[in-house]
Structure 1
Amino acid sequence: MIPRIQTLNEKKLVGRRLTMSFADYKIGELWRTFSPRRKEITNNLTNDLISLVVYKPNHFADFKMTNEFERWATVEVSTFDNVPSEMETFDLQGGLYAVFDYKGLNTDNSIFQYILGTWLPYSDYVLDNRPHFEVLGDKYKNNDPISEEEIWIPIKTK
């Protein structure tokens, strides 16, 4: 699987966040609190959902299943006006990303093992310390083997 290398412009996101680890993975809880209220966000730029992760700088260098990170359930907005109660804003800074078009179950982590363990070490890039995210568009279907999404990995040249 070959990614496209793309420069992302800054995005304004609104949503909810939850601290978790891979050992205590609470993504279902996060989306259950966000999804019923997402229609309250009135200035969306698209219908896409963005599932974003903020890792600590040493998360992968000293990887443990118990390392905590922040996971966000968001949508992109034009402005931060009228943010619904109990939701937060996130400024996603721009930069270089490797974008993988993934088709398959969202619970199959082998794609991330491939990206981080196979593609990245043999590429001209290293991970950059910026958020990772997935764009869940019209073809995304939760827990469906024909689901499609975009996986955005922050990179910089070696």
Structure 2
Amino acid sequence: MKPRITPLVEKKLIGCKQNMNYATYNPVLLWQSFMPLEKEITNRVSTDLFSVQQFPEGFWNHFNPETAFEKWVAVEVSDFENIPANMNSLVIPGGWYAVFDYKGDGSDAASFFESIFSSWIPNSAYVVDDRPHFEILGNNYKKGDPNSEEEIWIPIRLK
């Protein structure tokens, strides 16, 4: 498991959000509410989909699966001038990210994330930063397909 350490320029997103936690994590309804409305977003900069987690400050210092966070399904936009009804805007601030390439059908995603937080982060020169975490579902993403590919972006800063 070797991520790319990459600077991120601020991103503007438009999408749908919902509060959830990891104890009862189920983003299916959020995706189902977003996908029919996706075509209403007129100022997209790419076809990529973003799956974003906005955690409260210190979430990863004292992890508790019952702690609520905001889950977003969104797309990147050039500006916030035309936000469709029933959608919201989110700014992902710039900063450093560890970017992990994930390939698979999602069945082992939980263990992949667990390895990032229980092994890679503690053994790296970094700590998790208090900025949004996200996955980019690009052209090679195919839900449920063992050859599906996505990028996992974890915000970091030096220890």
Fold conserved (TM > 0.5)?
A: yes
In structure 2, C-alpha distance between the alignment counterparts of 1:107 and 1:90, rounded to whole Å: 29
Please name the residue that 2:44 is paired with: 44
SS of 1:138's equivalent in the other structure is: coil
Please name the residue that 2:149 is paired with: 148
Shift of 1:91: 0.9
Shift of 1:145: 1.7
SS of 1:121's equivalent in the other structure is: coil
In structure 1, C-alpha distance between the alignment counterparts of 2:106 and 2:43, rounded to whole Å: 27
Shift of 1:107: 4.0
| 1:86-97 pair list within 5 angstroms | 86-97=86-97
In structure 2, C-alpha distance between the alignment counterparts of 1:26 and 1:33, rounded to whole Å: 13
Aligned residues with identical type, % of pairs: 49
In structure 1, C-alpha distance between the alignment counterparts of 2:21 and 2:100, rounded to whole Å: 23
In structure 2, C-alpha distance between the alignment counterparts of 1:76 and 1:58, rounded to whole Å: 26
Shift of 1:26: 2.9
TM-score normalized with structure 2 length: 0.96
Shift of 1:106: 2.5
Please name the residue that 2:130 is paired with: 129
Runs of 4+ in 1 over 2 A off after TM superposition: 105-108
TM-score normalized with structure 1 length: 0.96
Q: What whole-Å deviation, never above 9, does each CA across 1:63-84 have from its counterpart, x for those lacking one?
A: 2221111000000000111111
1:102 aligns with 2:102: yes
The answer to whether the Cα contact below 8 Å between 2:44 and 2:77 also exists between their aligned partners in 1 is yes
TM-align CA RMSD: 1.0
| Number of equivalences | 158
Flag structure 2 segments of 5+ consecutive residues without an equivalent: none
Please name the residue that 2:140 is paired with: 139
In structure 2, C-alpha distance between the alignment counterparts of 1:141 and 1:152, rounded to whole Å: 18
Amino acid in the other structure paired with 2:131: R
Flag structure 1 segments of 5+ consecutive residues without an equivalent: none
SS of 2:112's equivalent in the other structure is: helix
